[in-house]
Amino acid sequence: MILTTTNSIENFKIVDYLGIVTGVAMNEEKLAMGFSISKYYKTIQDSVDKTKEKAFQSLQENARQLKANAIVGIKVEIELTTSNYAMVSVTGTAVKVTE
């Protein structure tokens, strides 16, 4: 699966636009504030990274269901809830491409 934030893919031709796809994930691990602010920031970063990966997996699965082989125009939104849970939403257009 080709993933890109651009609206086209170099050396490929988009032959069919299949629809908008989304992947959303939320990490519900509690992030406790300790004595080390650097450890706390590292924990948040790790939480966002894991959650983002889950959201991208969901995005790709939704595109596969539409028989897409690429997703263009990807936008990523990352949000920390008031309880410091990481939430990631990834949206793009599922397409069929050929070389």
Mean pLDDT of 2-14: 96
Q: Encode pLDDT of 31-49 as tens digits.
A: 666 677 788 788 888 888 9
Letter for the amino acid at 40? Answer: Y
- Give the separation between CA 93 and CA 4, rounded to whole angstroms: 10
76 falls in which pLDDT band (50, 70, 90)? very high
- Give the separation between CA 12 and CA 3, rounded to whole angstroms: 13
pLDDT at 93: 98
pLDDT at 30: 66
pLDDT at 98: 95
DSSP 4-65: -SSSS-TT-EEEEEEEEEEEEEEE-------S-HHHHHHHHHHHHHHHHHHHHHHHHHHHHH
